[in-house]
Amino acid sequence: MKFHRFAKRMLAALAFVSIAAAATAPAASAANPAIILIVNTQQIFNESKVGQSIRAQLQEQAKKLQAEDKKGSEALQDEAKKLSEQRSLLGADDFKKKVAALEKKEADRQEKMRVKGDALQLGVNKARADVEAVIRPIFADVMKKNGATLLLDQSVVLAGGVDLDVTAEVLKALDAKVTKIDVKPISAADAKKAAQ
């Protein structure tokens, strides 16, 4: 859904790992040139077992929300139809009150669905943050193993050798560490508490 946020956070994590590695690595010189690796974080998220699991859970939960929304909307449409049929039997004031009550019911239903949608998105964001926490040490290990001083996301590389791409290595390591992270809706209030 909002993969760009994930990619931006991954880039920030890459920058952090790169800076930390550069700080601990010996200075690059003509005799010891910088080794730059490339990783495709979007591919990792799309092809990893954990990324596929998160996406499948999101789709399943979104489908349930859509079904709930449709059911609630249809119920209110039925109420509106019945109210319309009763219009001639009701006084003007009674009809206005019932219309206002029905409009409030619809506004409440829409707000409830918005809150549930937001909670699902917060749950997805939490799951992605959990993936990031697992992948950061993998980035560091891959850099150390390859003697790299810098790791860049493919999205920021204009040109580079395929031999520098460590996406498959990172993907294999991630799949070995984690295959599933549960996506659980999180209320905005709980998200604020967790952030504090």
Q: Is 18 exposed, middle or buried (0-12, 13-18, 19+ CB in 10 A)?
A: buried
The domain segmentation of the chain, as residue ranges, is 3-23+35-195
Q: Flag whether pLDDT at 30 surpasses 80.
A: no
Q: Flag whether pLDDT at 16 surpasses 70.
A: no
pLDDT in tens, 135-160: 999 999 999 999 998 999 988 877 76
Beta pairing, strands 150-153 & 36-39: parallel
pLDDT in tens, 45-76: 999 999 999 999 999 999 999 999 999 999 99
